[in-house]
């Protein structure tokens, strides 16, 4: 019995390999477009949304946070809709800051000076989460990171908001 | 590795006898294209099944994007066809496969007919085959409406007119199929339900019976 003989492939083995190979190739050819199609939402690039005007003049932005509502066009597959979003817009050290009012704890809506006991703070009524005026979460309250910020741009004197961004 | 996994399962579930029963049987010489090339006509049944499997798989994936609602059906089909990566391919498979099932099934029927394979003891399997034929035609008819474009809509208008022309039960059948007097919201929901639940269920049941009978009765002898 030579070494060579050991490695000889029997007819049955050869058929098993080729049939499995061809079958696997066909199955892959059939399934790969389907699987790619199903995975599409997860593999799609998140497109950067355009900056949109919130109808607020640069001159009207004060040190005091003011709640501004604005409509955003939401594209959801084949369905396009308008959604009202809001932001607290104010000046800090001359820079315009736009904070999302969504609490970073569990997604309730925070209010500026929403509780009389905590003036000059954002307050979340759900679990008493609190944030500093610049959006930083206050230690000892449930939220674990600062309020999200919108990208801000001033065009022709009007405040425009872009993507929402996490901090911390 | 695979052998080990198989052995592990086999010692616990004893699957080898089942496997033998389903797959390990001889293919008679007269149906083996390796012996007589003309025996490829015996492949049509298996090919029909293969295309049916493609139809079921591609259909399952299509329902991830499709909605059976008159306001959004067309938009959702347009979206999956033009915006979703490979959506065009998967919908193409389902679209062309639908015709191919009917073509293959017809060729299979011709083979069974001309080899006389429907004769005793296989009459029942012929009957099941004819039922399968109707189920597949039903799948084609109900699926045609789902894109909810002009062609789909008016094809269904014509189809339901044909149903209505049947004596006595025509009006009833047409109203039942359309889900009302109007071909609209209810028709689409109904056709969708029939297309993805009722008929595929019937199809799988009948296919089970069809294959069981082949194993039980064997392949018919040579001409």
**B110 lies in some domain:** yes
Residue A55 · residue A155 · CB < 8 Å:
no
Is a pLDDT exceeding 60 seen at residue A157? Answer: yes
Chain Cα centroid distance, residue B122: 21
Return d(Cα B149, Cα B75) in angstroms, integer. Answer: 10
pLDDT tens-digit profile of B45-85?
999 999 999 999 999 999 999 999 999 999 999 999 999 99
Residues in chain B with CB shorter than 8 Å from the CB of A44 are 85
pLDDT tens-digit profile of A56-102?
888 888 888 888 888 888 888 899 998 888 889 888 888 888 888 88
Interface pTM, i.e. ipTM: 0.85
Residues in chain B with CB shorter than 8 Å from the CB of A20 are none
Chain-chain contact of B79 with A78 (C-beta, under 8 angstroms): yes
For an interface test with A, the pick among B70, B85, B97, B100 (most A C-beta atoms closer than 10 Å) comes out as B85
Per the prediction, chain B carries an average pLDDT of 94
Nearest beta carbon to residue A34 from set B58, B72, B76: B58
Is a pLDDT exceeding 70 seen at residue A3? Answer: no
Count how many domains chain B has.
1
Residues in chain B with CB shorter than 8 Å from the CB of A36 are 85-86
Chain-chain contact of B76 with A77 (C-beta, under 8 angstroms): yes
Residue A101 · residue A128 · CB < 8 Å:
no
Supply the pLDDT for residue A164: 85
Domain of B105?
Answer: 29-115+122-217
Q: Which of residues 40-99 of B touch A (CB under 8 A)?
A: 54, 57-58, 61, 64-65, 72, 75-76, 78-80, 83-87, 89-90, 93
Return d(Cα A106, Cα A128) in angstroms, integer. Answer: 11
Residue B179 · residue B192 · CB < 8 Å:
no
Is a pLDDT exceeding 70 seen at residue A47? Answer: no
**B134 lies in some domain:** yes
Supply the pLDDT for residue A133: 85
CB contact, 8 Å: A4 with chain B? no
Beta pairing partners, A160: A53, A153
Q: Count contacts between A and B (CB, < 8 Å).
A: 44
What CATH number has the domain bearing residue B190? Answer: 1.20.810.10
Nearest beta carbon to residue B76 from set A31, A44, A78: A78
Residue B144 · residue B71 · CB < 8 Å:
no
The CB-side HSE value for B116 (13 A sphere, CA atoms) comes to 5
**B13 lies in some domain:** no
Q: What's the maximum distance between 2 C-alpha atoms anywhere in chain A? A: 95
């Amino acid at each position: 019995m030579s070494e060579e003989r050991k490695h000889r492939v029997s007819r049955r083995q050869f058929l098993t390999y080729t049939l499995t190979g061809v079958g696997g190739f066909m199955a892959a050819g059939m399934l790969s477009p389907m699987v790619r199609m199903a995975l599409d939402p997860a593999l799609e690039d998140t497109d950067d949304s355009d900056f949109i005007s919130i109808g607020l003049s640069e001159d009207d932005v004060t040190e005091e946070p003011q709640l501004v509502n604005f409509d955003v066009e939401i594209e959801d597959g084949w369905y396009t809709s308008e959604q009202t979003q809001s932001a607290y817009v104010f000046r800090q050290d001359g820079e315009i800051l736009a904070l999302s009012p969504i609490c970073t704890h569990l997604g309730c809506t925070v209010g500026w000076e929403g509780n009389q006991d905590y003036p000059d703070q954002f307050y979340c009524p759900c679990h008493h989460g609190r944030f500093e005026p610049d959006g930083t979460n206050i230690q000892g309250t449930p939220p674990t990171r600062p309020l999200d910020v919108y990208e801000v741009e001033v065009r022709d004197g009007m405040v425009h908001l872009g993507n929402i961004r996490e901090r911390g | 590795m695979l052998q080990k996994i198989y052995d592990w399962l086999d010692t616990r579930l004893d699957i080898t006898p089942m496997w033998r029963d389903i797959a390990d049987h001889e293919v008679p010489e007269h149906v083996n294209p390796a012996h007589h090339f003309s025996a490829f006509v015996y492949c049509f049944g298996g090919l029909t099944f293969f295309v049916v499997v493609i139809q079921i798989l591609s259909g399952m994936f299509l329902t991830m994007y499709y909605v059976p609602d008159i306001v959004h059906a067309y938009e959702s089909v347009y979206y999956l066809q033009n915006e979703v990566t490979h959506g065009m391919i998967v919908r193409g498979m389902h679209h062309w496969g639908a015709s191919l099932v009917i073509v293959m099934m017809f060729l299979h029927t011709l083979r069974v007919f001309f080899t006389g394979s429907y004769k005793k003891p296989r009459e029942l399997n012929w009957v099941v085959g004819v039922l399968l034929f109707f189920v597949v035609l039903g799948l084609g008819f109900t699926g045609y409406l789902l894109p909810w474009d002009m062609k789909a809509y008016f094809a269904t208008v014509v189809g339901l007119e044909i149903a209505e022309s049947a004596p006595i039960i025509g009006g009833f059948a047409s109203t039942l199929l359309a889900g009302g007097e109007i071909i609209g919201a209810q028709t689409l929901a109904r056709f969708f339900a029939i297309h993805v639940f009722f008929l595929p269920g019937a199809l799988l049941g009948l296919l089970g019976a069809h294959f069981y009978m082949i194993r039980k009765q064997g392949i018919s002898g040579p001409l």
